[in-house]
């Protein structure tokens, strides 16, 4: 499951249940009026919509005044071209050559989850950098961590997927990573002993970022607790996942590298 990604739209389920929509295998051949699928079935079609997505482009960065400051213009143009590959940036946001002077927000596409919560985390981090309340590591560290991060992504999603969707991230792992930079990741051990119900909702509840408002900058603890308490979840399935996660962690600590958790 972690090596792929799912649809974000419940309309697909509705179309299958109520409107006779069918899930088909890969396309083997296109004829003048038909689509022939891998299972041998055929469909007469009037229109094919190629949902190929979008490419990241920052052409406005090429418009910098090259005569006024050639060196600066060269750096900005280079950053604009390289930033199109989102996962090559530091935490999908920062190019090593410009640091916090140029910040890319929103170029994250979680395998499962939603873009807005991750963009909000990025914006919170950006605000702290702009106000000098947090600092970036040095350039060498940024470059090294960028390479390590790409290796991690490829191990989780395979190079085929990360090359095709350069904004792809793991929602939980990425949120945890940004929250450490912000300083808003709650102490889960302390939470386990002080507020066990909130802890279990953070560990097993639906993917949402309310827990990153419990502590740290921009915190709203009472609102966050209310959201976490009221969030709907399927208890028995999620508790089973927690049980399995702990066993995987135990196997990993015992030396079984394939059980290493993504976060």
- CA atoms within 13 Å, Cβ hemisphere of 98: 23
CA distance 163 to 4: 13
CA distances from 187 to 118, 139, 175, 210, 211 (A): 20, 29, 15, 14, 10
Taking residues 209-214, report their average pLDDT: 95
Domain ranges of the chain: 1-52, 56-183, 186-262
pLDDT at 69 over 80: no
* Each residue's pLDDT tens digit, 22-68: 888 888 999 988 999 999 999 999 998 887 777 888 888 877 776 67
pLDDT of residue 1: 47
pLDDT of residue 169: 93
Higher pLDDT, 113 or 193: 193
State both tokens at 156: 């989780």
pLDDT at 185 over 90: yes
pLDDT at 261 over 70: no
SS3 letters for the chain? CCCCCCCCCCHHHHHHHHCCCCCCCCEEEECCCEEEECCCCEEECCCCCCCCCCCCCCHHHHHCCCCCCHHHHHHHHHHHHHCCCHHHCECCCECCCCHHHCCCCCCCEECCCCHHHHHHHHHHHHHHHHCCCCCCCCHHHHHHHHHHHHHHHHHHHCHHHHHHCCCEECHHHHHHHHHHHHCCCCCHHHHHHHCHHHHHHHHHCCCCCHHHHCCCCCCCHHHHHHHHHHCCCCHHHHHHHHHHHHHHHHHHHCCCHHHCCCC
Q: Choose from 122-131, 199-208, 231-240, 253-262 the range with maximum mean pLDDT.
A: 122-131
pLDDT of residue 94: 95
* Each residue's pLDDT tens digit, 120-162: 999 999 999 999 999 999 999 999 999 999 999 998 888 988 9
**Which of 58, 78, 56 lies closest to 168, judged by CA?**
56
pLDDT at 237 over 80: no
CA distances from 59 to 84, 106, 208, 257 (A): 10, 17, 34, 43
Mean pLDDT lowest among 120-129, 201-210, 241-250: 241-250
pLDDT of residue 2: 53
């Amino acid at each position: 499951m972690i090596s792929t990604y799912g649809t974000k739209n419940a309309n697909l389920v509705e179309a299958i249940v109520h409107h006779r929509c069918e899930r088909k295998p890969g396309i083997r051949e296109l004829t003048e009026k038909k689509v022939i699928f891998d299972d041998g079935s055929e469909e007469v079609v009037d229109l094919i919509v190629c949902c190929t997505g979008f490419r990241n482009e920052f052409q406005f960065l090429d418009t910098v005044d090259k005569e006024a400051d050639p060196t600066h213009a060269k750096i900005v143009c280079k950053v604009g071209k390289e930033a199109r590959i989102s996962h090559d940036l530091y935490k999908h946001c920062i190019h090593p050559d410009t640091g916090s002077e140029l910040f890319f927000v929103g170029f994250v596409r979680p395998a499962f989850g939603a873009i807005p919560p991750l963009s909000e985390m990025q914006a919170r981090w950006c605000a702290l950098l702009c106000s000098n309340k947090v600092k970036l590591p040095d350039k060498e560290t940024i470059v090294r961590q960028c390479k390590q991060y790409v290796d991690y992504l490829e191990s989780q999603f395979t190079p085929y997927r990360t090359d095709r969707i350069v904004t792809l991230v793991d929602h939980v792992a990425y949120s945890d990573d940004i929250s450490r930079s912000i300083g808003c990741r709650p102490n889960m051990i302390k939470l386990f002993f002080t507020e066990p119900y909130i802890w279990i909702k953070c560990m097993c509840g639906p993917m949402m970022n309310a827990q990153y408002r419990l502590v740290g900058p921009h915190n709203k603890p009472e609102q966050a607790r209310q959201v976490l308490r009221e969030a709907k979840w399927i208890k028995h399935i999620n508790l089973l996942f927690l049980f399995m996660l702990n066993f995987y962690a135990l196997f990993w600590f015992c030396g079984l590298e394939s059980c290493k958790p993504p976060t």
